Chain A
């Protein structure tokens, strides 16, 4: 069964979201921070078709620009998690022995610390910014990535071609980088997708409790916090950012799931 990229709806959705966020300056009808008091708390109208917030700022424009921040943070965090996690898991999986034991115990211990709490500590110490948030979120996502990478590497190393490569005298570094890595790439891609979803969720959560992106800048989480505070005035204000976050997380999770299913069916058909 061949994986048809073109027919992957979730993949298309991710591209669409990325495209919309990139093109925000072109697509947004208004300046996201332009205040128009006359439109305050407006519901969806022809003028502000996702409504306007308490200062009359256009919600649609704010969501487009907020998406840029959210997606940027999520992408950076995912990359950081991938780098740290893969290295971590790779070393554990290749070295084995006490190194493995130590690294994986550390992963267990890190996972026992509640994510939100750890993020609270970090963010309160260094402040929330577009630099610190990806690092914090990335670090939080790396232990799960490490576990995944380790188990993939361990399985891969037990396969016949690795034995053959070792027997033929291939250097270990070369074996890992040019043979094993490409083979675990699909699993990494699945993890990448799941991590992206988790990063969007974490950033939104942090911003929602007020410890993420600070006004006047706004990510989707910040928009939801502002909307939630005014939920008794107008529910449009909180509804659309919440919808945007949910759709994005769903798309990333579904994409990861899709690749995994394709991978599994391929493996079982071999």
Chain B
């Protein structure tokens, strides 16, 4: 277990390090002078002032030095300051992250519940009408952009039925009921986007497990189909799906950007979009670092979970990476 943990941690860290370098470099390589962006439309900037500002921001140092000092600062929880508001990026991100985490939690919750209903339902009788309907809906679900699902939901539940609000945010601390009401549409939008991936994966692994001898034994004992499905097949197909769930949590964290924007939720996704409009690279960089770290952390945690649940994976994974 120790070796497995170390190996996974090392590979996660190396991916993290590389993507951090990629984010940093791509922001530096791209045209668009952050200093000019900071000055914005302010005219009559003397070249001397520009040089001074660059010096102040440390932009005239060699790229590698900048990279390492940025990473070093990031470890100490300092992601620099916004070019515009001059607020520390760490503060901006940490103010907004609870909203993002709340939406993400509800999205995953809805997706998991739906998948746990739909996948067993379609494996109960492969090839049946129910199975085919679920199959077609997941195929369509994979092709519909999240915001289109959102538009449809708003049209139905906000415009026509007028049941739910379509925009805005009220913190939990102020009003729990209103907060949850505003969370429903974003969560369902994201949930419906993530569900097809989970259903597909879970269905495939359930069908695979269905072929195992122990399932035949259980059936031979005379257990009912439903009991075999829920007591024997489902628990055994959850492990591979756990890995997939880790990935989906990660993707949801980034997909939530659009959902936050469309429903006017003040999370880190809308922070990123606002900063993109203003070319506030320090903030985008900070948001990117946060989301990437969360992504890698969740996949890491879920991999470890799989290793704990199913010891065979520890061995298989380790052997695979040595070959």
In whole angstroms, how far apart are the Cα atoms of A124 and B284 in the complex?
A: 10
In whole angstroms, how far apart are the Cα atoms of A262 and B250 in the complex?
A: 32
Q: Is B305 an interface residue (CB 8 A)?
A: no
Contact A121:B273 (CB < 8 A) given known A114-B253, A250-B143, A254-B139: no
Q: Is the CB of B15 within 8 A of A232?
A: no
In the complex, chain B residues 136-160 whose Cβ is within 8 Å of any chain A Cβ: 139-140, 142-148, 151-152, 154-155, 159
In the complex, chain A residues 86-133 whose Cβ is within 8 Å of any chain B Cβ: 105-106, 108-110, 112-118, 120-126
Q: Is A197 an interface residue (CB 8 A)?
A: yes
B254 surroundings in chain A (CB, below 8 A): 114-117
Contact A126:B142 (CB < 8 A) given known A113-B19, A116-B257, A242-B148: no
In the complex, chain B residues 6-64 whose Cβ is within 8 Å of any chain A Cβ: 14-16, 18-19, 22-23, 26-27, 30-32
Q: Is A214 an interface residue (CB 8 A)?
A: no
In whole angstroms, how far apart are the Cα atoms of A124 and B277 in the complex?
A: 6
Contact A113:B148 (CB < 8 A) given known A105-B15, A125-B279: no
B302 surroundings in chain A (CB, below 8 A): none
Q: Is the CB of A249 within 8 A of B277?
A: no
Instruction: Give a binary string over A215-259; 1 marks a CB under 8 Å from any B CB, 0 the rest.
Output: 000000000100010011001001100100110011001100100
Q: Is B266 an interface residue (CB 8 A)?
A: no
A113 surroundings in chain B (CB, below 8 A): 19, 22-23, 288, 292
In whole angstroms, how far apart are the Cα atoms of A82 and B291 in the complex?
A: 27
Q: Is B295 an interface residue (CB 8 A)?
A: yes
Q: Is A208 an interface residue (CB 8 A)?
A: yes
Q: Is the CB of B296 within 8 A of A112?
A: yes
Q: Is the CB of B18 within 8 A of A121?
A: no
Q: Is the CB of B159 within 8 A of A109?
A: no
Q: Is B258 an interface residue (CB 8 A)?
A: yes
Q: Is A35 an interface residue (CB 8 A)?
A: no
CB distance from B164 to the nearest CB of A (A): 14
B296 surroundings in chain A (CB, below 8 A): 112
Q: Is the CB of A245 within 8 A of B148?
A: yes
A210 surroundings in chain B (CB, below 8 A): 273, 277
**Which of B31, B146, B276 is the one whose CB lies under 8 Å from A121?**
B276
A106 surroundings in chain B (CB, below 8 A): 18, 22
Q: Is A204 an interface residue (CB 8 A)?
A: yes
B255 surroundings in chain A (CB, below 8 A): 114, 116
Q: Is A201 an interface residue (CB 8 A)?
A: yes
**Which of B16, B146, B152, B291 is the one whose CB lies under 8 Å from A117?**
B291
Q: Specify which of A115, A124, A242 lies most central, judged by the most chain B CB atoms within 10 Å of its CB.
A: A124
Q: Is the CB of A211 within 8 A of B19?
A: no
B140 surroundings in chain A (CB, below 8 A): 250
CB distance from B273 to the nearest CB of A (A): 6
A228 surroundings in chain B (CB, below 8 A): 147, 151, 262
In whole angstroms, how far apart are the Cα atoms of A58 and B207 in the complex?
A: 50
Q: Is the CB of A112 within 8 A of B295?
A: yes
In whole angstroms, how far apart are the Cα atoms of A245 and B144 in the complex?
A: 8
Q: Is the CB of B145 within 8 A of A201?
A: yes
B144 surroundings in chain A (CB, below 8 A): 246, 249-250
Contact A123:B143 (CB < 8 A) given known A109-B18, A114-B295, A116-B258: no
Q: Is A209 an interface residue (CB 8 A)?
A: yes
**Which of B147, B258, B272, B292 is the one whose CB lies under 8 Å from A112?**
B292
Contact A125:B151 (CB < 8 A) given known A110-B22, A113-B19, A245-B145: no
Q: Is the CB of B145 within 8 A of A246?
A: yes
Q: Specify which of B32, B151, B273, B287 lies most central, judged by the most chain A CB atoms within 10 Å of its CB.
A: B151
Q: Is B281 an interface residue (CB 8 A)?
A: yes
Contact A120:B276 (CB < 8 A) given known A112-B19, A113-B288, A115-B254: yes
Contact A235:B159 (CB < 8 A) given known A112-B15, A209-B273: yes
Q: Is the CB of A109 within 8 A of B22?
A: yes
Quick one: closest A residue to B255, CB to CB?
A116
Quick one: closest A residue to B148, CB to CB?
A242
Q: Is A205 an interface residue (CB 8 A)?
A: yes
Q: Is B261 an interface residue (CB 8 A)?
A: yes
Quick one: closest B residue to A139, CB to CB?
B26
Contact A231:B26 (CB < 8 A) given known A126-B31, A253-B142: no
B30 surroundings in chain A (CB, below 8 A): 121-122, 125-126
Quick one: closest A residue to B285, CB to CB?
A121
**5 interchain residue pairs of minimum CB distance:** A114-B254, A109-B18, A125-B30, A124-B276, A109-B19
B interface residues, Cβ below 8 angstroms from A: 14-16, 18-19, 22-23, 26-27, 30-32, 139-140, 142-148, 151-152, 154-155, 159, 250-251, 253-255, 257-258, 261-262, 272-273, 275-277, 279, 281, 284, 287-288, 291-292, 295-296
Other than the known A228-B147, A235-B155, A254-B139, what 8 A-B pairs have Cβ atoms closer than 8 Å? A109-B19, A114-B295, A125-B31, A197-B143, A224-B148, A242-B151, A242-B152, A249-B145
A interface residues, Cβ below 8 angstroms from B: 105-106, 108-110, 112-118, 120-126, 197, 201, 204-205, 208-211, 224, 228, 231-232, 235, 238-239, 242, 245-246, 249-250, 253-254, 257
List 21 A–B pairs whose Cβ atoms lie within 8 Å, in order of A's numbering.
Answer: A105-B14, A109-B22, A114-B255, A114-B291, A116-B255, A116-B258, A117-B257, A117-B288, A120-B276, A121-B27, A121-B276, A122-B30, A124-B279, A126-B32, A205-B146, A208-B147, A208-B258, A228-B262, A250-B143, A253-B142, A254-B143
